[in-house]
Chain A
């Protein structure tokens, strides 16, 4: 598919949201400054984990919040990319940036494969299909040779950025992860506020009308699915470099559920909701790790309460209070 195919848009008006609102720019700036000094305040590995999951949730939100498609199988792209990147670093000896890149591409390819089948169904069927394919990928990861089965791929070397700058230390790697995840999130922001993003919203709101306006709806859906899978992969590949590990946890269905939870908690379809949701969920897991399965129970309770009482999410509520999109 070429880009021109999915950009029909005759006489398209320049979307009202083309430029970044000052409020968003200010929040991003504050976030960036905060993140730049964060390693002084908290353990860098924890901060890197939060950033990877924030990108993961933002990628998922692109699909659910703006494409209106609930995927219950995003672990496949997140974990799949993490396997490929870990393999590239460890076995092929590639540099971090090339490993992350090839992991991302692999996730995009997997997204293209699964997405082209999944978009044939809508609504809850779509959710079930994506979940089933992700489970299939889980079995593949369990049985394939290169994934290391139950052990995963361990002690992945961090190597040197571009083969020049060593990123073995957490502090050095932190700024690479910051650049990758922050860049990714800004890129996702750009996609949402592009003409492409406007068409996505049109499809989400009223698919038959979008079709009658001449948009090839399925191409848009597939495109947003692939983009979302790719950025989920970017997050997963980066995470494999941080933890020097790729394991079955990242491809398990519970990971797919977690990213849904992060997005729902923060606010589906908001810009900053997934970032906040990811921060809360990862922090919670971190501090409650000693409580074992209670973490699962708490996550379940948040899901139930979130769906029953709190569907807009935290950022969604704040956004309603200040009467501005966030």
Chain B
């Protein structure tokens, strides 16, 4: 293999893979935000905390009940999604008639509560969660070494993202959902239980965050702050993509992860801020976001 601009291909591919993995999380999380925003018109500030909650629930299932990774992958989204449904039923529901900023403030408060509680009981040092046996080891692709688990994270995220896209864009249920996004009153008049749909949609968006948390648990150490900084980057991703389209959220998520990875290769100091810089450029050129609708 030849060197590209003096960068050995192993380094380049390694960072590309890391970027793709970060991009997977950006995509799944911004997808969840977009799904929630579409129907509820609120920004779910607790998304990062719910992602952290997902990782912690997976850790607890293993530690206290001996339930393994694969079951966690199914159970955790259900459990975290259920907490989301409770939150929607008890609190968010009361805010729909108000300025959408109140939803942001409420979910911010929820994020503080969840993070504070976990910091109290588990500290901030982080807990280990080992990679499941079936996915340990890796493949030598000739030009780089691909750890199996990391490959799995990308594959699983792509499957979940496109599954969600398919359900929303191509099925009858998705059609109701899209219709309710446009005009909830009219959809309700057709006999569809819109409040129930809103509740389940929030639960589903939160479940996506929980799912991302399980995926993240073996890669990053499970700690109460893992979602807090990530969610701000995801906000920037959402501003760049615009929340008008499901596919837009997915593509922007993966794309920005890769760009961030490339920045680490060519200009390491800029990798922490490259997404924010892109956000600034997008705001100057196309303020409504790359896939956004101008309204």
Contacts and interface: CB of A to CB of B under 8 A. Distances in A.
B109 A303 contact: yes
B177 to A, nearest CB: 20
A294 B121 CA distance: 10
Nearest to A293: B119
B1 interface: no
Contacts of B42: 124
Interface in B100-128: 100-102, 104-106, 108-117, 119-120
Interface stretch (B159-167, B228-236, B255-263): B228-236
B60 interface: no
Of the four ranges (under 10, 10 to 19, 20 to 34, 35 or more), the interface on chain A belongs to 35 or more
B196 interface: no
A127 B104 contact: yes
A253 B111 contact: no
Contacts of A132: 232-233, 235-236, 239, 276, 279
A304 B113 contact: yes
Nearest to B277: A136
B120 A294 contact: yes
Interface stretch (B5-13, B65-73, B75-83, B280-288): B280-288
Interface in A124-149: 124-125, 127-129, 131-133, 135-136, 139-140, 142-143
The B interface, classified by DSSP as helix, strand, loop or mixed, is helix
B212 interface: no
B102 A297 contact: no
B113 A121 contact: no
B101 A135 contact: no
Contacts of B101: 70, 123-124, 127
Nearest to B49: A300
Contact of B235 (A128, A143, A295): A128
Interface residues of B, number: 42
Nearest to B238: A128
A305 to B, nearest CB: 8
B115 A296 contact: yes
Given A123-B100, A129-B283, A293-B120, A301 B109 contact: yes
B43 A302 contact: no
A117 B233 CA distance: 17
Interface of B: 42-43, 91, 94-95, 98, 100-102, 104-106, 108-117, 119-120, 228-229, 232-233, 235-236, 238-239, 269, 272-273, 276-277, 279-280, 283-284, 287
13 contacts: A121-B287, A123-B101, A127-B104, A129-B239, A132-B235, A139-B273, A293-B116, A294-B116, A295-B116, A296-B113, A299-B112, A301-B113, A307-B105
